[in-house]
Homo-oligomer: A and B are copies of this chain.
Protein backbone atom coordinates (compact mmCIF):
# COMPACT_ATOMS: atom_id res chain seq x y z
CA UNK A 1 0.00 0.00 0.00
CA UNK A 2 1.67 3.25 -1.16
CA UNK A 3 -0.38 6.41 -0.78
CA UNK A 4 0.72 9.84 0.28
CA UNK A 5 -1.19 11.12 3.25
CA UNK A 6 -0.70 14.44 5.02
CA UNK A 7 -0.70 15.04 8.77
CA UNK A 8 -1.06 18.67 9.87
CA UNK A 9 0.43 19.12 13.35
CA UNK A 10 3.27 17.12 14.92
CA UNK A 11 2.17 17.40 18.51
CA UNK A 12 1.30 14.31 20.55
CA UNK A 13 -1.68 13.17 18.49
CA UNK A 14 -0.11 14.02 15.13
CA UNK A 15 3.16 12.23 15.81
CA UNK A 16 1.41 9.13 17.16
CA UNK A 17 -0.82 9.06 14.08
CA UNK A 18 2.12 9.63 11.71
CA UNK A 19 4.00 6.80 13.40
CA UNK A 20 1.09 4.38 13.05
CA UNK A 21 0.60 5.33 9.39
CA UNK A 22 4.36 4.97 8.77
CA UNK A 23 4.34 1.50 10.30
CA UNK A 24 1.44 0.60 8.02
CA UNK A 25 3.59 1.57 5.03
CA UNK A 26 1.94 4.85 4.04
CA UNK A 27 3.99 7.61 2.59
CA UNK A 28 3.39 10.37 5.19
CA UNK A 29 4.10 14.10 5.03
CA UNK A 30 3.87 15.79 8.41
CA UNK A 31 3.65 19.60 8.60
CA UNK A 32 4.19 21.39 11.91
CA UNK A 33 4.00 25.16 12.33
CA UNK A 34 6.44 25.26 15.23
CA UNK A 35 10.13 24.55 14.97
CA UNK A 36 11.49 21.15 15.97
CA UNK A 37 10.71 20.84 19.69
CA UNK A 38 13.80 18.65 20.15
CA UNK A 39 16.00 21.60 19.15
CA UNK A 40 14.05 24.60 20.44
CA UNK A 41 12.44 24.11 23.80
CA UNK A 42 8.83 25.14 24.03
CA UNK A 43 7.97 28.29 25.90
CA UNK A 44 7.47 27.83 29.60
CA UNK A 45 4.16 28.01 31.34
CA UNK A 46 2.07 25.93 28.99
CA UNK A 47 0.86 22.41 29.85
CA UNK A 48 4.27 21.13 30.80
CA UNK A 49 3.13 17.81 32.16
CA UNK A 50 0.16 15.57 31.70
CA UNK A 51 -1.47 12.55 33.30
CA UNK A 52 -0.97 9.50 31.11
CA UNK A 53 -3.48 6.75 31.89
CA UNK A 54 -4.73 3.47 30.45
CA UNK A 55 -6.42 4.76 27.30
CA UNK A 56 -3.36 6.78 26.36
CA UNK A 57 -1.10 3.80 27.09
CA UNK A 58 -3.24 1.60 24.83
CA UNK A 59 -2.68 4.15 22.06
CA UNK A 60 1.08 4.11 22.66
CA UNK A 61 1.06 0.30 22.76
CA UNK A 62 -0.28 0.34 19.20
CA UNK A 63 3.09 1.66 18.03
CA UNK A 64 5.15 -0.15 20.68
CA UNK A 65 6.01 2.91 22.76
CA UNK A 66 4.02 2.32 25.95
CA UNK A 67 6.96 0.95 27.95
CA UNK A 68 9.28 3.71 26.78
CA UNK A 69 6.71 6.28 27.87
CA UNK A 70 6.33 4.69 31.30
CA UNK A 71 10.10 4.81 31.73
CA UNK A 72 9.98 8.61 31.65
CA UNK A 73 6.82 8.84 33.78
CA UNK A 74 6.30 9.21 37.49
CA UNK A 75 3.46 7.08 38.89
CA UNK A 76 0.86 9.06 40.81
CA UNK A 77 -0.83 6.47 43.01
CA UNK A 78 -3.43 8.80 44.42
CA UNK A 79 -4.50 12.33 45.21
CA UNK A 80 -2.72 14.16 47.99
CA UNK A 81 -5.30 16.61 49.28
CA UNK A 82 -3.98 19.78 50.91
CA UNK A 83 -6.92 21.00 52.93
CA UNK A 84 -7.60 24.63 53.72
CA UNK A 85 -7.55 23.95 57.47
CA UNK A 86 -3.96 23.96 58.74
CA UNK A 87 -2.77 22.56 55.40
CA UNK A 88 -3.83 19.12 56.66
CA UNK A 89 -2.81 16.35 54.24
CA UNK A 90 -4.87 13.35 53.27
CA UNK A 91 -3.87 10.77 50.69
CA UNK A 92 -6.64 9.16 48.61
CA UNK A 93 -5.36 6.25 46.50
CA UNK A 94 -6.86 6.08 42.99
CA UNK A 95 -7.99 2.53 43.72
CA UNK A 96 -7.30 -0.46 45.88
CA UNK A 97 -6.52 -2.60 42.84
CA UNK A 98 -3.07 -3.42 41.51
CA UNK A 99 -1.63 -1.32 38.68
CA UNK A 100 -4.31 1.34 38.86
CA UNK A 101 -2.64 4.67 38.94
CA UNK A 102 -1.96 7.51 36.56
CA UNK A 103 1.40 8.73 35.33
CA UNK A 104 2.89 12.19 35.27
CA UNK A 105 4.74 12.71 32.01
CA UNK A 106 6.30 15.70 30.29
CA UNK A 107 4.51 16.74 27.13
CA UNK A 108 7.84 17.64 25.53
CA UNK A 109 9.64 14.42 26.49
CA UNK A 110 6.81 12.28 25.17
CA UNK A 111 6.71 14.30 21.95
CA UNK A 112 10.48 13.74 21.56
CA UNK A 113 10.11 9.96 21.91
CA UNK A 114 7.35 9.93 19.31
CA UNK A 115 9.19 12.17 16.84
CA UNK A 116 12.44 10.23 17.20
CA UNK A 117 10.56 7.05 16.36
CA UNK A 118 8.73 8.70 13.44
CA UNK A 119 12.01 9.79 11.91
CA UNK A 120 13.30 6.23 11.79
CA UNK A 121 10.92 5.61 8.91
CA UNK A 122 12.11 6.54 5.44
CA UNK A 123 8.50 6.79 4.25
CA UNK A 124 7.84 9.78 6.54
CA UNK A 125 8.92 13.37 6.03
CA UNK A 126 8.46 15.82 8.88
CA UNK A 127 8.49 19.50 7.91
CA UNK A 128 8.79 21.96 10.78
CA UNK A 129 8.07 25.71 10.53
CA UNK A 130 5.25 25.00 8.06
CA UNK A 131 2.08 26.82 9.06
CA UNK A 132 -1.21 25.86 7.48
CA UNK A 133 -2.77 29.10 6.22
CA UNK A 134 -5.47 27.73 3.93
CA UNK A 135 -7.10 24.42 3.10
CA UNK A 136 -9.77 23.41 0.65
CA UNK A 137 -11.37 20.58 2.57
CA UNK A 138 -13.24 19.32 -0.50
CA UNK A 139 -10.18 18.79 -2.69
CA UNK A 140 -7.62 18.33 0.08
CA UNK A 141 -5.43 21.17 -1.20
CA UNK A 142 -3.29 22.64 1.55
CA UNK A 143 -1.45 25.98 1.53
CA UNK A 144 1.36 26.57 3.98
CA UNK A 145 3.71 29.35 4.83
CA UNK A 146 7.35 28.58 5.56
CA UNK A 147 9.80 31.41 6.16
CA UNK A 148 7.76 33.79 4.04
CA UNK A 149 7.23 31.34 1.17
CA UNK A 150 3.89 29.82 0.22
CA UNK A 151 3.87 26.08 -0.36
CA UNK A 152 0.93 24.17 -1.82
CA UNK A 153 0.41 20.46 -1.50
CA UNK A 154 -2.23 17.77 -1.77
CA UNK A 155 -2.80 14.55 0.03
CA UNK A 156 -4.86 11.44 -0.51
CA UNK A 157 -6.14 12.34 2.96
CA UNK A 158 -5.41 15.38 5.13
CA UNK A 159 -5.36 14.56 8.86
CA UNK A 160 -5.93 17.64 11.04
CA UNK A 161 -4.14 16.97 14.32
CA UNK A 162 -3.22 20.56 14.99
CA UNK A 163 -4.71 20.96 18.41
CA UNK A 164 -7.32 23.00 20.25
CA UNK A 165 -6.85 26.05 17.99
CA UNK A 166 -6.68 23.96 14.82
CA UNK A 167 -6.14 25.74 11.51
CA UNK A 168 -7.61 22.73 9.72
CA UNK A 169 -10.81 23.18 11.72
CA UNK A 170 -10.80 26.86 10.71
CA UNK A 171 -10.99 25.64 7.12
CA UNK A 172 -13.99 23.47 8.01
CA UNK A 173 -15.63 26.56 9.56
CA UNK A 174 -15.03 28.58 6.40
CA UNK A 175 -16.78 25.93 4.32
CA UNK A 176 -19.49 25.31 6.96
CA UNK A 177 -22.51 25.79 4.74
CA UNK A 178 -21.36 23.21 2.20
CA UNK A 179 -21.54 20.27 4.59
CA UNK A 180 -23.47 21.75 7.52
CA UNK A 181 -20.52 21.90 9.89
CA UNK A 182 -21.88 22.19 13.42
CA UNK A 183 -19.48 23.88 15.78
CA UNK A 184 -19.39 25.13 19.33
CA UNK A 185 -16.74 26.60 21.59
CA UNK A 186 -17.62 27.19 25.25
CA UNK A 187 -15.27 28.84 27.71
CA UNK A 188 -15.16 28.31 31.44
CA UNK A 189 -15.20 31.43 33.58
CA UNK A 190 -11.98 30.08 35.08
CA UNK A 191 -8.55 30.30 33.51
CA UNK A 192 -5.21 28.87 34.57
CA UNK A 193 -1.61 29.74 35.17
CA UNK A 194 1.33 27.38 35.47
CA UNK A 195 3.79 27.84 38.30
CA UNK A 196 6.55 25.71 39.76
CA UNK A 197 7.76 24.04 42.91
CA UNK A 198 11.47 23.55 42.16
CA UNK A 199 13.60 20.71 43.62
CA UNK A 200 14.71 21.32 47.19
CA UNK A 201 18.16 22.71 48.02
CA UNK A 202 19.30 19.14 48.67
CA UNK A 203 17.95 18.23 45.18
CA UNK A 204 14.89 16.34 46.31
CA UNK A 205 11.15 16.42 45.79
CA UNK A 206 9.64 19.02 48.09
CA UNK A 207 6.30 17.18 48.25
CA UNK A 208 5.26 13.54 48.13
CA UNK A 209 6.56 12.32 44.79
CA UNK A 210 4.01 9.67 43.83
CA UNK A 211 0.86 11.74 44.05
CA UNK A 212 -1.19 14.29 42.21
CA UNK A 213 -1.41 17.15 44.68
CA UNK A 214 -4.66 19.08 44.99
CA UNK A 215 -5.46 22.20 46.96
CA UNK A 216 -9.26 22.41 46.66
CA UNK A 217 -10.59 25.80 47.74
CA UNK A 218 -13.93 27.48 47.42
CA UNK A 219 -14.23 28.91 43.90
CA UNK A 220 -10.66 28.11 42.88
CA UNK A 221 -8.05 25.37 43.25
CA UNK A 222 -4.45 24.44 42.61
CA UNK A 223 -2.84 21.16 41.52
CA UNK A 224 0.76 19.93 41.24
CA UNK A 225 2.27 17.06 39.24
CA UNK A 226 5.80 15.68 39.74
CA UNK A 227 8.54 15.96 37.12
CA UNK A 228 11.61 13.75 36.60
CA UNK A 229 13.91 16.62 37.60
CA UNK A 230 12.26 16.55 41.06
CA UNK A 231 10.30 19.72 40.47
CA UNK A 232 6.52 19.95 40.38
CA UNK A 233 4.49 21.72 37.78
CA UNK A 234 1.82 23.65 39.64
CA UNK A 235 -1.38 24.88 38.00
CA UNK A 236 -3.64 27.46 39.58
CA UNK A 237 -7.23 27.48 38.34
CA UNK A 238 -9.37 30.47 39.23
CA UNK A 239 -11.85 32.91 37.71
CA UNK A 240 -10.40 35.29 35.14
CA UNK A 241 -12.50 38.17 36.43
CA UNK A 242 -14.29 39.10 39.62
CA UNK A 243 -13.32 39.55 43.25
CA UNK A 244 -11.04 36.53 43.68
CA UNK A 245 -9.58 36.39 40.20
CA UNK A 246 -6.47 36.56 38.08
CA UNK A 247 -7.48 40.06 37.09
CA UNK A 248 -7.24 41.18 40.69
CA UNK A 249 -3.93 39.44 41.43
CA UNK A 250 -2.12 42.28 39.70
CA UNK A 251 0.79 42.98 42.05
CA UNK A 252 3.50 40.94 43.67
CA UNK A 253 2.16 41.90 47.12
CA UNK A 254 -1.31 40.69 46.28
CA UNK A 255 -0.03 37.40 44.85
CA UNK A 256 2.09 36.71 47.90
CA UNK A 257 -0.71 37.62 50.31
CA UNK A 258 -3.11 35.41 48.36
CA UNK A 259 -0.78 32.40 48.47
CA UNK A 260 0.08 32.92 52.15
CA UNK A 261 -3.62 32.95 52.98
CA UNK A 262 -4.88 30.14 50.78
CA UNK A 263 -1.89 27.90 50.06
CA UNK A 264 0.52 28.48 52.97
CA UNK A 265 2.24 25.06 52.67
CA UNK A 266 2.75 25.43 48.92
CA UNK A 267 3.90 29.03 49.30
CA UNK A 268 6.80 27.81 51.47
CA UNK A 269 7.96 25.65 48.56
CA UNK A 270 7.68 28.25 45.82
CA UNK A 271 10.73 30.50 45.99
CA UNK A 272 10.13 31.89 42.47
CA UNK A 273 6.41 32.43 42.90
CA UNK A 274 6.17 36.10 42.06
CA UNK A 275 8.46 35.93 39.01
CA UNK A 276 6.70 32.84 37.67
CA UNK A 277 3.32 34.40 38.27
CA UNK A 278 4.05 37.49 36.21
CA UNK A 279 6.24 35.82 33.56
CA UNK A 280 3.88 32.98 32.73
CA UNK A 281 0.74 33.63 30.73
CA UNK A 282 -2.79 33.37 32.10
CA UNK A 283 -4.68 31.09 29.74
CA UNK A 284 -8.34 30.41 29.21
CA UNK A 285 -10.06 27.02 29.13
CA UNK A 286 -12.58 25.95 26.56
CA UNK A 287 -14.43 22.97 25.17
CA UNK A 288 -14.78 22.51 21.42
CA UNK A 289 -17.40 20.23 19.91
CA UNK A 290 -18.02 19.91 16.20
CA UNK A 291 -19.41 17.62 13.55
CA UNK A 292 -18.81 16.26 10.94
CA UNK A 293 -15.11 15.59 11.53
CA UNK A 294 -14.51 14.44 7.99
CA UNK A 295 -15.30 15.68 4.48
CA UNK A 296 -15.75 13.13 1.71
CA UNK A 297 -12.89 10.95 2.95
CA UNK A 298 -10.50 13.79 2.06
CA UNK A 299 -10.01 15.68 5.31
CA UNK A 300 -10.49 14.61 8.90
CA UNK A 301 -10.03 16.14 12.35
CA UNK A 302 -8.56 14.11 15.22
CA UNK A 303 -7.54 14.86 18.79
CA UNK A 304 -8.00 18.31 20.27
CA UNK A 305 -8.74 19.68 16.80
CA UNK A 306 -11.95 17.63 16.81
CA UNK A 307 -12.73 17.75 20.52
CA UNK A 308 -10.77 20.11 22.77
CA UNK A 309 -11.67 19.39 26.39
CA UNK A 310 -10.96 21.18 29.65
CA UNK A 311 -8.30 19.40 31.73
CA UNK A 312 -10.33 18.38 34.78
CA UNK A 313 -10.49 14.69 34.01
CA UNK A 314 -6.86 14.42 32.90
CA UNK A 315 -8.07 12.80 29.68
CA UNK A 316 -7.24 15.25 26.87
CA UNK A 317 -4.12 13.47 25.59
CA UNK A 318 -5.57 10.07 26.45
CA UNK A 319 -8.67 10.74 24.36
CA UNK A 320 -6.51 11.88 21.45
CA UNK A 321 -4.39 8.72 21.60
CA UNK A 322 -7.57 6.64 21.79
CA UNK A 323 -8.70 8.39 18.58
CA UNK A 324 -5.64 6.98 16.82
CA UNK A 325 -6.24 3.54 18.32
CA UNK A 326 -9.88 3.47 17.23
CA UNK A 327 -8.93 4.70 13.75
CA UNK A 328 -6.36 1.90 13.51
CA UNK A 329 -8.96 -0.67 14.55
CA UNK A 330 -11.37 0.55 11.88
CA UNK A 331 -8.60 0.45 9.28
CA UNK A 332 -7.75 -3.15 10.25
CA UNK A 333 -11.41 -4.21 10.25
CA UNK A 334 -11.95 -2.76 6.77
CA UNK A 335 -8.80 -3.80 4.98
CA UNK A 336 -10.78 -5.47 2.20
CA UNK A 337 -12.61 -2.97 -0.01
CA UNK A 338 -10.56 -0.28 1.68
CA UNK A 339 -11.90 3.21 1.10
CA UNK A 340 -10.95 6.29 3.15
CA UNK A 341 -14.47 7.76 2.92
CA UNK A 342 -15.91 4.65 4.52
CA UNK A 343 -13.14 4.47 7.14
CA UNK A 344 -13.48 8.11 8.18
CA UNK A 345 -17.28 8.01 8.30
CA UNK A 346 -17.12 5.00 10.61
CA UNK A 347 -14.45 6.72 12.66
CA UNK A 348 -16.38 9.92 13.30
CA UNK A 349 -19.56 8.08 14.19
CA UNK A 350 -17.81 5.65 16.55
CA UNK A 351 -15.88 8.42 18.22
CA UNK A 352 -18.20 11.43 18.46
CA UNK A 353 -20.46 10.18 21.27
CA UNK A 354 -17.43 9.23 23.34
CA UNK A 355 -15.53 12.47 22.97
CA UNK A 356 -18.72 14.41 23.76
CA UNK A 357 -18.95 12.30 26.92
CA UNK A 358 -15.41 13.05 28.10
CA UNK A 359 -15.89 16.73 27.25
CA UNK A 360 -19.00 16.87 29.45
CA UNK A 361 -17.41 14.85 32.24
CA UNK A 362 -14.45 17.23 32.30
CA UNK A 363 -16.71 20.28 32.65
CA UNK A 364 -18.78 18.53 35.34
CA UNK A 365 -15.61 17.74 37.23
CA UNK A 366 -14.54 21.35 37.20
CA UNK A 367 -17.74 22.32 39.02
CA UNK A 368 -17.58 19.27 41.27
CA UNK A 369 -14.01 20.02 42.33
CA UNK A 370 -14.82 23.70 42.76
CA UNK A 371 -18.27 23.66 44.36
CA UNK A 372 -19.52 20.33 45.63
CA UNK A 373 -17.01 20.25 48.45
CA UNK A 374 -19.34 22.26 50.71
CA UNK A 375 -22.12 19.65 50.65
CA UNK A 376 -21.82 17.24 53.63
CA UNK A 377 -23.63 14.45 51.73
CA UNK A 378 -21.10 14.76 48.94
CA UNK A 379 -18.34 14.09 51.48
CA UNK A 380 -20.18 11.11 52.94
CA UNK A 381 -20.65 9.69 49.46
CA UNK A 382 -16.99 10.28 48.63
CA UNK A 383 -15.96 8.46 51.85
CA UNK A 384 -18.24 5.56 51.01
CA UNK A 385 -16.82 5.33 47.49
CA UNK A 386 -13.26 5.36 48.77
CA UNK A 387 -14.13 2.55 51.15
CA UNK A 388 -15.74 0.56 48.34
CA UNK A 389 -12.83 1.07 45.95
CA UNK A 390 -10.23 0.15 48.59
CA UNK A 391 -12.03 -2.94 49.83
CA UNK A 392 -14.12 -4.26 46.98
CA UNK A 393 -12.15 -4.74 43.80
CA UNK A 394 -15.33 -5.19 41.75
CA UNK A 395 -16.39 -1.61 42.46
CA UNK A 396 -15.26 1.10 40.04
CA UNK A 397 -16.09 4.72 40.76
CA UNK A 398 -16.97 7.00 37.86
CA UNK A 399 -13.40 8.27 37.88
CA UNK A 400 -12.05 4.70 37.74
CA UNK A 401 -14.46 3.67 35.00
CA UNK A 402 -13.30 6.60 32.88
CA UNK A 403 -9.62 6.33 33.72
CA UNK A 404 -8.81 2.64 34.14
CA UNK A 405 -11.48 0.75 32.20
CA UNK A 406 -10.32 1.25 28.63
CA UNK A 407 -12.46 -1.78 27.78
CA UNK A 408 -15.45 0.58 28.20
CA UNK A 409 -16.05 3.55 25.94
CA UNK A 410 -16.11 7.00 27.51
CA UNK A 411 -19.85 7.06 26.90
CA UNK A 412 -20.40 3.75 28.68
CA UNK A 413 -18.18 4.88 31.54
CA UNK A 414 -20.05 8.16 31.84
CA UNK A 415 -23.47 6.52 31.75
CA UNK A 416 -22.62 3.91 34.36
CA UNK A 417 -20.69 6.40 36.49
CA UNK A 418 -23.54 8.88 36.58
CA UNK A 419 -26.04 6.19 37.57
CA UNK A 420 -23.76 5.17 40.43
CA UNK A 421 -23.24 8.75 41.58
CA UNK A 422 -26.95 9.41 41.66
CA UNK A 423 -27.67 6.15 43.46
CA UNK A 424 -24.97 6.65 46.08
CA UNK A 425 -26.02 10.23 46.79
CA UNK A 426 -29.56 9.01 47.44
CA UNK A 427 -28.17 6.19 49.53
CA UNK A 428 -26.16 8.43 51.87
CA UNK A 429 -29.03 10.92 52.15
CA UNK A 430 -31.35 8.13 53.30
CA UNK A 431 -28.84 6.61 55.69
CA UNK A 432 -30.00 6.81 59.31
CA UNK A 433 -27.58 8.00 61.94
CA UNK A 434 -25.41 5.08 63.15
CA UNK A 435 -27.04 2.77 60.63
CA UNK A 436 -24.54 0.14 59.55
CA UNK A 437 -24.09 -0.55 55.86
CA UNK A 438 -24.56 -3.96 54.28
CA UNK A 439 -21.82 -3.53 51.66
CA UNK A 440 -22.59 -6.74 49.79
CA UNK A 441 -26.20 -5.73 49.35
CA UNK A 442 -25.10 -2.26 48.30
CA UNK A 443 -22.71 -3.66 45.68
CA UNK A 444 -25.41 -6.01 44.41
CA UNK A 445 -27.71 -3.03 43.91
CA UNK A 446 -24.99 -1.07 42.16
CA UNK A 447 -24.30 -4.01 39.85
CA UNK A 448 -27.94 -3.91 38.76
CA UNK A 449 -27.94 -0.22 37.84
Identify the A interface with B (CB < 8 A): 176-177, 180-189, 240, 283-284, 286
Contacts and interface: CB of A to CB of B under 8 A. Distances in A.
Contacts of A187: 176-177, 180-182
Contact of A177 (B181, B189, B284): B284
A182 B185 contact: yes
Contacts of A181: 185, 187
Residue among A180, A186, A187, A240 facing the most chain B CB atoms (10 A cut-off):
A180
A186 B286 CA distance: 18
A188 B184 CA distance: 15
A183 B183 CA distance: 8
A239 to B, nearest CB: 11
A180 B285 CA distance: 8
Contacts of A180: 187-189, 240, 284, 286
Contacts of A184: 182-186
A189 B283 CA distance: 36
A284 B180 CA distance: 7
A187 B290 CA distance: 11
Contacts of A283: 177
A210 B34 CA distance: 63
A202 to B, nearest CB: 41
A286 B181 CA distance: 10
Nearest to A184: B184
Contacts of A286: 176-177, 180
B182 A186 contact: yes
A75 to B, nearest CB: 34
A181 B284 CA distance: 11
Nearest to A190: B180
A122 B188 CA distance: 46
A184 B186 CA distance: 8
A95 to B, nearest CB: 36
A57 to B, nearest CB: 31
8 contacts: A176-B185, A176-B187, A177-B283, A177-B284, A181-B185, A182-B185, A182-B186, A184-B186
A96 B182 CA distance: 41
Contacts of A185: 176, 181-184
A51 to B, nearest CB: 24
A182 B185 CA distance: 6
Nearest to A165: B177
A281 B125 CA distance: 43
A205 B310 CA distance: 58
Nearest to A174: B170
Nearest to A188: B180
A296 to B, nearest CB: 12
Contacts of A183: 183-185
A184 B288 CA distance: 10
A284 B181 CA distance: 11
A186 B291 CA distance: 9
A306 to B, nearest CB: 16
A350 to B, nearest CB: 20
A189 B182 CA distance: 11
Contacts of A188: 180
